[in-house]
Structure 1
Amino acid sequence: MRIIIYLLLFMKFILDDIYSIKTILAGIILLIIFKVALNTGLVNILDTFLFIYSARNLEFKKIIKVTLILNIILMSCIVGSSMVGIIKNDIWYREDYSIRYGLGYKYTTFIANYFFHMVLMYIYINGKKALSSIGVIVIYIINYIIYYFTDTKAIFYLITLILVIELILKIKKTDMKVNKGWSIITQLSFPVCMIVSIFLTITYNGSNVIYNMLNNALTGRLALGKSAYEQFSISLLGKNIKWITGRVGIEMGFIDTYNYVDCAYLNILINYGVIVLLILCIGFMFIGKGVKEKNTCIVIIFLAIHSITDPQLIELMYNPFLLLLGEFLRYRIKINKKRKRIKIIY
């Protein structure tokens, strides 16, 4: 199926009626991504780029609507099946012996991260208006239930903060059009979060009181990130990394060597290399520059913040907003009826 999809998407690329500098740029990026896929052994990144390019001239809100509906159906089936015993509901324990449930997913944080992105999808679809009071209440109740069973604190607080912002926008009846301040914050969100998270990780010093407090607040993420940085270093086009997660560690009997990096920026930097991280960062900055609705600003800003503590930024199965990067490669057609001419605007 993957080969068939590659052929279809490649045919679309070759048979495209519109050729421009952006087409050449897309071809160069494709070659870079292909090399990264070879270096890392991770074909998913090639799939992701091909879908980004192919979706560049589609109506993005329709894609998000379909994705959200499918996510709601699948999550309902998975959680429901785990409750009645069709799917195993794994139980995990923290060091303080508090219980965490998988709710049908392989790990406790998976459902929380899916729900986080679903909330962003719903906000994006809402577009020109803030969330309704009922919408805020329903989302918060689901958010709390997921938090109660999975004990995923970061996602719970992020979603709660998003809902507070939406309530403020609604109560104040704020104009949802983007002003200069919102535009600047949106454009800078990704580079600022990327630089800050990577800097703090690389310069982490366990004997420093402030760093130690930050590391504890981030449940050991700084220490793990520093260890991975020293062990694997970084490259331009990525390398094959054997990440050891908690589940793999338990099954293979070496849980103490857990080395997975949760920070998306550092994870991408170590795994996929400098160039891929820069492409993503520049791409989201470009998207932020053209945003016209505050709800879209909220989506981009919270994607950037979420990526400090979680690795789903580059995973299309979680984050369909990756397809927004196709906006950079979009062309528009302007029809002049009087002269009967079609002009391509890049």
Structure 2
Amino acid sequence: MLNDSQESLALLARLENLTDENCDQAYGAVWKIMEDAKRIHLTLSLGYPADKEQASLESRIKDILKDSPFSGRELVLDIEHDVQSHATQGNIAGLKGVKNIIAVASGKGGVGKSTTTVNLALAMAKEGARVGILDADIYGPSQGMMLGFADGTRPEVREDKFFVPPSAFGVQVMSMAFLTTKDTPVAWRGPMVTGALMQILTQTDWDNLDYLFIDMPPGTGDIQLTLAQKVPVAGSVIVTTPQDIALLDARRGIEMFNKMKIPVLGVVENMSTHICSNCGHHEAIFGDKGGVSLAKEYNVEVLGKLPLSLAIREQSDIGSPIVVNAPESDVAGIYQSIARKLGATLASQRDTQFAMPTIGMSDD
């Protein structure tokens, strides 16, 4: 039963002051307590998914219970989440079937942006969210291969105009790779590419997504500007490496999003350290503190730092990303942490939009 005894209220106050490690703030009034003689049942209601934090949070709560009147009772913890739709740049009308669009970008190629996108999306799905991926690299789509789709995979078509996105590991996916063959180059100029991208985005029948991750091509050209101007983006993630040249280009990406009034939710630093496969020695062969200094310069968070890992590359190449292939690995744990921090950062944004979304059609 619900209990408002002095002991319960004291415990509730301690829980409310407990730090949410995904945003370094106190949880606040998001707890409910039910108790009987044998059990204490806690419900935590969040604005972002955090299913994989269950064991860690239970351990922290048990430490609190040890020196409380509830010591010795069985702990039952439920973590609930309710993801809201957040405001977009210029209040662009939302996309039907999608609550929040998150752009994953980099200033230059070769920093692991697509690998980060796929593992981050899969990690968010494991946390309990409904997730999709749009592969926005029209010239060089890679998400089909990374998620293990067979050559020749095609989306179903509904009502002769909507693509039904194929799914892999519980994630809905749409890519130019599903509309061409792997040996057919897309030899199009800018307007044709951006028009095709907008059609793929708006003509895909996304099914009730909490988050749609857009794997953006590198740079700040036509596609990036079209997305920033026409697509309702709730936030962005910048992927970089510690190298000075990568950081220089990452700055351009951040500046572009700032100019378009799209929040930069954080920075992911790839290839942060090399871990010797023989002795386990860690070495920052590309430099250290690069992502930290970039985040500090623009007052954003470092969501996570990933090592230079052979396993990450190998698993992506065979269509079984490390988050699903080795879910208990340290690297998968980093991706899960990044997903929770990203969700918490977006949930902390003040503006939300509750208007019913609409779908638009565009040929330009």
Q: TM-score, normalised by structure 2?
A: 0.26
More strand by share: 2
Q: TM-score, normalised by structure 1?
A: 0.27
More helix by share: 1
